[in-house]
Amino acid sequence: MSQKPLQILTDEAWLEPFAQVIQSRYERYQSAIQAINDFSGSILEFARMHEYYGIHFDKFRNGWIYREWAPAAKALFLIGDFNWWDRNSHPLRQNHRGDWEIFLPFEQYQHTFVHQSRIKVRVIGANETDLDRIPAYITRVVQDEKTHDFAGQLWFPEEKFTWTDQDFSLKPIAAMPLIYECHVGMAQEKLGVGTYQEFEELILPRIQAGGYNAIQMMAVMEHPYYGSFGYHVSNFFAASSRFGTPEELKSLINTAHRMGIAVIMDIVHSHAVKNVNEGLNEFDGSDAQYFHPGERGYHEGWDSKLFDYGKWEVQQFLLSNIRYWLEEFHFDGFRFDGATSMLYHHHGHTSFDSAEKYFDAGVDEDALLYFQLANTLIHGLKPHALSIAEEVSGMPGLSRKVADGGIGFDFRLAMGIPDYWIKTLKHKLDEQWDLFELWHELTNRPLREKSIAYAESHDQALVGDKSIAFWLMDKEMYFSMSVLEQNLVVDRGIALHKLIRMITISLGGEGYLNFIGNEFGHPEWVDFPRLGNDWSYQYARRQWSLVDTPHLRYRQLDAWDKAMIQLVKDHKLLSAPPAEQLFLEPNKKVLAYERGGLIFVFSFHPTESFFGFPIRMKKKGTYHILLNSDDKEYGGFERLDQSITYPTDKDQQVHLYVPNRVVMVMGRKK
């Protein structure tokens, strides 16, 4: 094993007390990779179990073979439309590996084992249960409209999907991702479930027009309960059929690539639905096949099952799942849900008030190793793929290379930022906003680890909370959003909405994320059909008509978002080093900083404007305003004249007119 000091220890002196733990983690990773190489030749080959398990056509034997890993099961029988659901006629046998399998000759089954026919596997389990299950590696699952029963579906389309995205380049996007988080089902305005096809035709052009270069798709993996937002996954290799066919999802991704948009999948490896009928729970009749046995295998807060990441077969299942989505559907990376829950036995339910908590017995070292393996695989298959962790604890090295002693993610979600905004809007008057605290919350991140900044995601928009727009304007959004009337609540809300987004994107990270519709201040919350709302789709949709109506102020927020994103792209802002503070005056609530050659001047003061306000620049020269939130197009009051230039004086200061609740972005004239 290598004894050379890991780069993370060289870079981060404060980690020296934990050098032994960090070194041992890396050595454990090296041992795991060596074992995988000895077994499969490489981690890329190791992650091919989806090509072995499940249903496949064997051209050499001229027939279909179905294999299942169910070590504790007593018997398995293949059942479905092809054998009129005969529960005994097609038993599986155990092969030399101990896996269950059955072969169906083409000549005998060509007319019954057909495209779109339904399939299940009867499992007589270790606990004497006799249940009809859905194959673990099935790639298509459908629900019967009458009985609501889920079943696997054979998917043998005559024509294979033809990809035309060969010229798509992921590299520039990976350097500065501007992510549009979205959910196919709730992306339409209609009261119902949107489809992959509708999203491709109606929503992708909006995203392209908005300037975003990546979408992050939620709820792709099949889940029995629509209201789970896609986080209670039952079938890990099946794209949700409620939105359409696999080919329609591929077409969506192919079209996104033609538009220059990367497609990131919200992958759920943090837990699985506990349902026995639809999911993996107790598949072979034991409680310790895919998941930890007993209490450790159950997440009380999520009411779901927890994977045993230390088990070889589980690693293969999850790593193969990653390879499948990257290769079969051309996804460009993943946002790993619930990384904090995975990394700790306590699932993050503690205060991280000392560095020891990142290295003590509370850490699930098996899960940490799994992340290292997953990121090695992702970048081995697609070097510029995006790997993003939803992680709130601040685990050191999370988005450092594995070879440096890290965990291997490209980015961490800056989850503290939206929490900060919601707490501020909930609990503080405008006069009480603390700019020192604001600066700290938006800049407090590891220097050598990249973050995705965001003001709000789906988490903040869910029922029980409110979007930022709704916190700011509440019921006035129903009555007072016309440009033909003036409303103090709406004026304040529009102004702060713009400031919050601009300071978040320019100060908070190396990437940016927005949740679908929030760019134009979508009102209300997100609530999926459920018993408690009488199965209504009222809040599980996006009301595009609001932003499409010229006389409503949603259009002004949308215009600001487009201008903001374009500015960031034009100046490659998120690829620049972190911002350098130029000025902070807590009482006047004025903050200025430089990043990527741009000067950002914010006034969060609720009432006062300032004339001749001095701010010292990093360089002498003449400065001018490139973008300001007080422009009428963006719902402002046009108090700033962008034709004016601002030369530095003998003290290298510019003297500005700074209206209240305004941000101006300035550039230096060459």
Per the CB < 8 A criterion, the answer to whether 240 and 230 are in contact is: yes
Q: How many CA atoms lie within 13 A of 206 on its CB side?
A: 21
User: Is 465 one of the annotated active-site residues of the chain?
Assistant: no
Nearest to 198 by CA among 211, 209, 210, 185: 185
From CA 482, how far away is CA 468, in angstroms rounded?
19
Mutual orientation of helices 435-443 and 488-507 as an angle, nearest 10°?
Answer: 40
DSSP assignment letter at 160: P
DSSP assignment letter at 91: B
From CA 431, how far away is CA 425, in angstroms rounded?
12
Cα dist from 156 to 61, 120, 237, 246, 247, whole Å: 18, 16, 15, 11, 11
Q: Which residues contact 223 (CB under 8 A, 6 or more apart)?
A: 230, 231, 232, 233, 234, 240, 273
Which of 337, 449, 459, 510 is an active site residue? 337
Token pair for 649: 């004086």
Q: Which residues contact 308 (CB under 8 A, 6 or more apart)?
A: 288, 290, 291, 292, 297, 314, 366
Which of 181, 266, 390, 449 is an active site residue? 390
| Rounded (5°) CA angle 51-57-63 | 140
Characterize the bridge pairing of strands 333-336 and 262-267: parallel
Nearest to 139 by CA among 320, 310, 388, 352: 320
From CA 567, how far away is CA 275, in angstroms rounded?
47
Per the CB < 8 A criterion, the answer to whether 181 and 263 are in contact is: no
Nearest to 455 by CA among 442, 474, 473: 442
Q: Which residues contact 419 (CB under 8 A, 6 or more apart)?
A: none
Token pair for 277: 């009928």
Cα dist from 205 to 99, 208, 211, 252, whole Å: 47, 5, 10, 11
Per the CB < 8 A criterion, the answer to whether 94 and 100 are in contact is: yes
Residues pairing with 580 in the sheet: 594
Other CB atoms within 10 A of residue 110 CB: 13
User: Is 390 one of the annotated active-site residues of the chain?
Assistant: yes
One-letter identity of residue 463: V
Residues pairing with 101 in the sheet: 67, 93
3-state secondary structure of 494: helix
Max intra-chain CA distance, the chain: 93
Q: Which residues contact 57 (CB under 8 A, 6 or more apart)?
A: 63, 64, 106, 156
Token pair for 559: 């215009």
| Residue 527 backbone dihedrals phi, psi, to 5 degrees | -145, 115
Please give the positions annotated as active site: 337, 390
